[in-house]
Amino acid sequence: MTETSATEPRPRQSPAEMTLLRWLWRDYLRPQRGLILIALFFMVLEGSMLGALSYIVQPMFDKVFIAGDRQAVYWVAAAVGGIFVVRAVAAFSHRTLMHGAGLRVIAGLQQDMVAHLMSLDSAFFGSNPPGTLIERVRGDTAAANGIWQVVLSAGARDVVAMCALLVVAISVDWVWTLIAVAGAPLLLGPVLVLQKLVRRTTTRAREASAGISTRLDEIFHGINTLKLNTAEMLERNRFSGAMSRYLKQEMRARLAQAGIPAMTDLVAAIGFAGVLV
């Protein structure tokens, strides 16, 4: 039996990634498809509200601020308030449903991973410290759950929001629609760069987190030996170094992840400004 270290990097291959995605869908996501479909509906509803808000801006300026139509104030205010209420309910609903499905997926992944690890021989556990395995079971499954939730959110809510903005732009001025369509691909390059950065920094953050788990496991299992040899300060410094490396890598991963929705908001801002003009 050939053993592979849990921290050894594997080459990225598209067929392997597709096989992994099919396995994840078949064994873990498909049983939650009911919750996921309902959550997707609310994501689409939330995304469409951005287009509705953009559409209501024009009569707000034309009839209320410029024409001074007092009668229009009431229905414009009601429309804007209704849009934000629907958006809030939709956002709360799809986040709650996705978190519920995600927790069930995490539980299934961790149970199956532990069962698989216990079936391996002793040589595997000799080459992989307990702290690393704990982080693989706990941390990696949580990270994988976060990734597919983000992908679904981007694929449903943000895409619908972009389409809604384009529809509003076409109804107002087709010239601005061409400008938006021509300018949107310019943002595709930075988004792709950010995606690669997210994958790289997230992997490094998980490795650093595994190092922290390993340090803690060694400290608590060998606490009597540490006290006999008065090595508390040495282990404290080693743990501080591991924590510093983790914070550095985790901050880089969070910054890269925050850049992707920020880029989406930038595209939405361009469309919103086009409607206003």
User: Residue 68: left (phi > 0), alpha (psi -120 to 50), or beta?
Assistant: left
pLDDT one-digit tens code per residue, 94-118: 889 888 888 888 888 888 888 888 8
* pLDDT given at position 88: 92
> Between the ranges 76-80, 130-134, 244-248, where is the mean pLDDT highest?
244-248
The three-state secondary structure class of 45 is helix
- Rounded CA separation 146/53 (Å): 29
| Amino acid in position 229 | N
What pLDDT digit, counting tens, does each position of 7-45 carry?
Answer: 444 444 456 667 777 887 888 888 888 888 998 899 888
- 249 Cβ partners below 8 Å, 6+ apart? 201, 204, 205, 207, 208
CATH architecture of 26-276: Up-down Bundle (1.20)
Token duo for residue 204: 């490094």
CA-nearest of 31, 38, 4, 260 to 117 is 4
Tell me which amino acid residue 252 is: R
List all residues 6 or more positions away from 38 whose beta carbon is below 8 Å from its beta carbon: 93, 97
Q: What is the pLDDT of residue 8?
A: 43
CB 142 within 8 A of CB 232: no
Largest CA distance in the chain: 84
pTM (predicted TM-score): 0.65
CA distances from 269 to 90, 129, 274 (A): 21, 49, 8
Domain ranges of the chain: 26-276
Residue 67 carries which DSSP code?
A: S
Please name the residues in contact with 173: beta carbons below 8 A apart, sequence gap of 6 or more: 274
- How many Cβ atoms sit within 10 Å of the Cβ of residue 115? 9
pLDDT digits 0-9 by tens, 149-202 = 666 776 677 777 777 777 777 777 777 667 666 666 666 667 777 778 887 888
Work out the burial of residue 102: count CB atoms within 10 Å of its CB; fewer than 13 is exposed, 13-18 middle, 19 or more buried: buried
